[in-house]
Amino acid sequence: MAAWLVRRLVASMAIVFAVVTITFFVVHLAQGTPCGGERPLPPDVCDRERAVFGYDKPLPVQYVKYLAALLHGKMGYSFGLHRPVADALADAIPNTFILALAALLIDFALGLALGIYQAARAGRFGDVAAGNVALLINSMPVFWLGLVLLLVFAQWLRWFPAGGPHNPILCPRVDSPYCLLDFLWHLTLPALTLGLVGAASTARYQRAAILEVVRQDYVRTARAKGLRERRVLLVHALRNALLPIITLFGLAFPFLFTGAVLIETVFAWPGMGRLAVNAIFQRDYPVVTGAALLTSAMVVLGNLLADALYAVADPRIRVRGGEGGP
Amino acid sequence: MPTARPRAGLTCAALACLILVAGCERPVGCTGEYCGTMVIASGGEPDILLPPVSEFSITRDVTDQLFLKLADLGASGNTIGDEDFLPQLAQRWEWDTPTTLVFHLDPRARWQDGQAVTAADVAFTYDAYTDTLVNSSFRSSLRQIAAVTTRDSLTVVFRFRRRYPEMFYDAVYHQRILPAHLLREVPRDQWRSAAFGRAPVGDGPYRFVAWKAGESIELGADSTFFLGRPHLRRVIWRFTPDQQGAVTQLITGDADAVEVLVTPDNVQRARADSALATYPYKGAAYGYVGFNLAAPGDSTKPHPLFGDRDLRRALVMATDRERVLRNVFGDFAKVPPGPLSQLWWIWDPEIRELPYDSGQAARLLTRTGWTDSDGDGIRDKDGRPLAFRLLLPTTSAVRRQYARLLQEQFRIAGVEVQLDEVDFSLYNERARAGRFDALLNVWNTDPTPSSGFPQTWTPAGFGRSNYGRYDNPEVDRLVDQAVASAANRDQARRAWRAAVETLNRDAPGIFLFATSNVAAVHKRIADVTIRPDSWLALLRTWRIPADRLTDRDRVER
């Protein structure tokens, strides 16, 4: 197990390194200038700034310098934000992480419940209706669903705020239960948007997994023993049907982080996605590369965690030295 | 009753939560004239709160509440002479000689850390703004000032290189005076990343409270401000990814004010909301199709199409600018009589320009050899179709809408236009490098044409803002005369008018729109006065009467 973990960690680092390298070259080779904002910098001012940031050097030299700085734990300075990239990311990461976590909770809680419900009523009206609704949500682009929820619940009904993580007057910080509720109130729509889309696909996987399991002999035996159908499904079938969901858990990370890019923009949520989008438009190279580094690290770690959970959860799977992961 | 106990438990728990939450609400206590809180929704965020090193208008909005100028533009917007300027940090001023301007600082002025504002701060500020290490974009605006020296702790002397009509404007408008005692030790080449810029100490009506990156900036009123205590106790900027998001926050009641409602739809929505008041004011922007007069990528050769003055004139006359403008802006913009913003005092609807005349445009095209020889609807000459590419940024909904409407108008005239829609960063790079046929550009202007116009429409702007490399020595001469030699406003106006009319005859672009802005502010906020060049310049006088305060105005922290 330890050897497997070490190998996976090394492979993960290689993946992150590859992502950083590709991002670095792609963003630097993309046309455009970091000096072109709302009021573009005059050329002489821009040239001096580019020299200060070392952007006038050949790209391979910049790359080597960037890697050397990374090895010393430095992610560079933002051209557009006028602050260390690490500081900007440190401000944004908690927001993205909380949003992703809340969305993950909604995704799996709702997805599992719906999948079980559908499996229990397979082929009946409830199953078909829920399946079609899930398909409809799953087919919607995540930003579109966000805009619809924003329009209905923030603009028309005014049940939820239109954006941002706090009420800046009453709760600029989460320092009381009231402000915690305020924060959760602000979190609801963006988390629901991301979570609903995820839940729709989780439900389909879960339904299929349970229907697969209920055909197994041990389930038939449980029924033959006279157990109630609810107990058969929730105790006997569900435990084995949960295994594919662990795989889904690993897959959910990339979706959550890419989805967050759009959702953070729609809901003015100050997370890493919004930071990265702005940085891409402004050609703020160190921020784009830093955001890619962190996102890929989190996705890779998420998958690593899912693999480990899979191995722990399923006693039939044994991780052997020569075979990689499950 | 087996179910009674759990339900009672649940009710008790919910009640406890409610009491807990209610008990933790902020106390509501402030009463009187100085309790208001205003939330401004903004489609952008400042990069740094240090005026010399930021070019963003949102930075200017915030820092204008923190840092004072020596004097500020008056309501007339007149930038010539000094009679329409209002004292700020300087209590008074006089001219020792025609090129020597002496300011006397207000002895009551204090930095918010308690230190007095002195003449040394003014001299330090000028030195910083003009230092190549600080690398301020405003440096070029101060080039006519030869030196700034102190006479005593409250007297500062500006010496100019020569005499010209807007000397005073140049001395006071571009610089916000900075605290020397806090910035002197910061290396000049590190000002763009100075910690001061994220938690500044100023001398203005508001003091810095907090900046949550990507989220909000909060300022609190300085109750000891020497020019009078601001009425609004707190001003908070909430940042959204774009201006439309800001408008949504306003409509949903999450914000109290936005600078610009952008589209006629938004204006209608704001006017339909009984809680909001709208405030129209002159816009500082104008938009145009700029023709590249040089070959794309090679400025030594003329453009194969737009090097021809007659072709450019024909395209201007083929464009029904009024109709397109109504489609996009409704009543919230005007067709400009040249490359002018409504903010400029030289705006004059009587300036002569090429008319919309599709018949004359067609005749001119035919006369210059552009005919539809193959009947495909597109004119051609020597086997080459009359076609060009129009560069525009994807980030501007207005320009994208304009591009499509223009494309259709040109198609009717027998001209094929392909749209090059690229992101803003690439747009700027290509515009500056001259890698385009024509572009759909917008300029946000200063209150005076004296700096922006020459930079955009004379060779002084080659490689900078004169993207299309327009060059007419007669225009240059008239602009020089207007900027530098005019003895008075009338003489300057005549010179400007002649320059714009000459330029219009050359048709270096199609001048499409000059914006009229509409701001929206919550109705509980009274005495809202907007100065068009800087909408929050008079924020200090906005107030919320005591009888209109809401809980969120009164809330204490």
- Test A283 with B425 for CB contact under 8 angstroms: yes
Least CB–CB distance from A45: residue in B137, B198, B425: B137
Structure tokens at B88: 């700020």
**Chain B residues inside the 8 Å CB shell of A42:** 137, 140, 464
DSSP string, B230-248: -SEEEEEEEE-SSHHHHHH
Name which of B74, B177, B170, B71 is nearest B123 in CA terms.
Answer: B177
Q: How far apart are CA B550 and CA B511, in angstroms?
A: 46
Q: Exposed, middle or buried, B7 (CB in 10 Å: 0-12/13-18/19+)?
A: exposed
Q: Strand B387-393 to strand B384-385: parallel, antiparallel, or no bridges (unpaired)?
A: unpaired
Q: What residues have CB less than 8 Å from B125, skipping those under 6 apart?
A: B175, B176, B177, B178, B180
Q: How far apart are CA B519 and CA B530, in angstroms?
A: 9
Least CB–CB distance from B26: residue in A83, A165, A170: A170
* Mean pLDDT score, B361-371: 95
Is residue B4 less than 8 Å (CB to CB) from chain A? Answer: no
Residues 40-59 of A with CB under 8 A from B: 40-43, 45, 48-49, 52
Q: What residues have CB less than 8 Å from B456, skipping those under 6 apart?
A: B339, B443, B465, B466
Q: How far apart are CA B246 and CA A159, in angstroms?
A: 18
What's the pLDDT tens digit per position in B497-510?
999 999 999 999 99
What's the pLDDT tens digit per position in A193-213?
999 988 988 898 889 888 888
Q: What residues have CB less than 8 Å from A99, skipping those under 6 apart?
A: A187, A190, A191, A194, A260, A263, A264, A269, A271
Name which of A189, A200, A194, A180 is nearest A100 in CA terms.
Answer: A194
**Chain B residues inside the 8 Å CB shell of A179:** 24
ipTM: 0.78
| pLDDT for res A215 | 82
pLDDT band at B5 (very low <50, low <70, confident <90, very high): very low
Portion of chain B with pLDDT greater than 90, in percent: 73
- Test A170 with B213 for CB contact under 8 angstroms: no
Q: SS3 breakdown of chain A: % helix, strand, coil, rounded to 5?
A: 75, 0, 25
Closest chain A residue to B197 measured between Cα atoms?
A82
Name which of A1, A2, A81, A222 is nearest B49 in CA terms.
Answer: A81
Closest chain B residue to A157 measured between Cα atoms?
B252
Size of interface A-B (CB pairs under 8 A): 159
SS (HEC) of B97-119: ECCEEEEEECCCCECCCCCECCH
Q: How far apart are CA A181 and CA A52, in angstroms?
A: 45
- Test B241 with A168 for CB contact under 8 angstroms: no
pLDDT band at A324 (very low <50, low <70, confident <90, very high): very low
Closest chain B residue to A76 measured between Cα atoms?
B193
Residue A173 has pLDDT above 90, yes or no: no
Residues 110-149 of A with CB under 8 A from B: none
Structure tokens at A4: 């497997």
Q: Rounded to the nearest 5 degrees, what angle is found at the Cα of B64, between the Cα atoms of B38 and B110?
A: 105
Is residue B186 less than 8 Å (CB to CB) from chain A? Answer: no
In 3-state terms, what secondary structure has residue B86?
Answer: strand
What's the pLDDT tens digit per position in B326-357?
999 988 999 999 999 999 999 999 999 999 99
* Mean pLDDT score, B311-331: 95
DSSP A41: P
Mean pLDDT of all residues in chain B? 91
Is residue A83 less than 8 Å (CB to CB) from chain B? Answer: yes
Is B214 in contact with B197 (CB distance < 8 Å)?
Answer: no
- Test B189 with A282 for CB contact under 8 angstroms: no
Least CB–CB distance from A181: residue in B21, B26, B432: B21
**Chain A residues inside the 8 Å CB shell of B21:** 177-178, 181
What's the pLDDT tens digit per position in B438-491?
999 999 999 999 988 998 999 988 988 899 999 999 999 999 999 887 777 888
| pLDDT for res B27 | 58
CA distance A50 to chain B (A): 12
| pLDDT for res B557 | 67
**Chain A residues inside the 8 Å CB shell of B51:** none
Q: How far apart are CA B359 and CA A111, in angstroms?
A: 65
- Sign of dihedral through CA atoms A128, A133, A134, A136? positive
Q: Other CB atoms closer than 10 Å to residue B129's CB: what's the count?
A: 23
**Chain B residues inside the 8 Å CB shell of A49:** 135, 192
Residue B2 has pLDDT above 50, yes or no: no
DSSP A40: P
| pLDDT for res B23 | 47
Amino acid type, B86: L
Q: Rounded to the nearest 5 degrees, what angle is found at the Cα of B137, between the Cα atoms of B134 and B142?
A: 90
Structure tokens at B469: 């490399």
Is residue B297 less than 8 Å (CB to CB) from chain A? Answer: no
Least CB–CB distance from B236: residue in A80, A169, A283: A169
**Chain A residues inside the 8 Å CB shell of B430:** 31
In 3-state terms, what secondary structure has residue B341?
Answer: coil
Structure tokens at A238: 């569900």
Is B64 in contact with B176 (CB distance < 8 Å)?
Answer: yes
Is residue B464 less than 8 Å (CB to CB) from chain A? Answer: yes
pLDDT band at B29 (very low <50, low <70, confident <90, very high): confident
* Mean pLDDT score, A9-30: 90
Q: Other CB atoms closer than 10 Å to residue B29's CB: what's the count?
A: 9
Buried b (16+ CB within 10 A) or exposed e, B437-466: bbbbbbbebbbbbbbbbbbbbbebbbbebb
Q: Output the CA–CA distances (angstroms, integers) from residue A306 to A21, A129, A268, A299, in the order listed.
A: 26, 31, 30, 11
Is residue B236 less than 8 Å (CB to CB) from chain A? Answer: yes
Structure tokens at B410: 């040109």
Which of A42 and B502 is assigned the larger pLDDT?
B502
Is residue B300 less than 8 Å (CB to CB) from chain A? Answer: no
* Mean pLDDT score, B107-116: 96
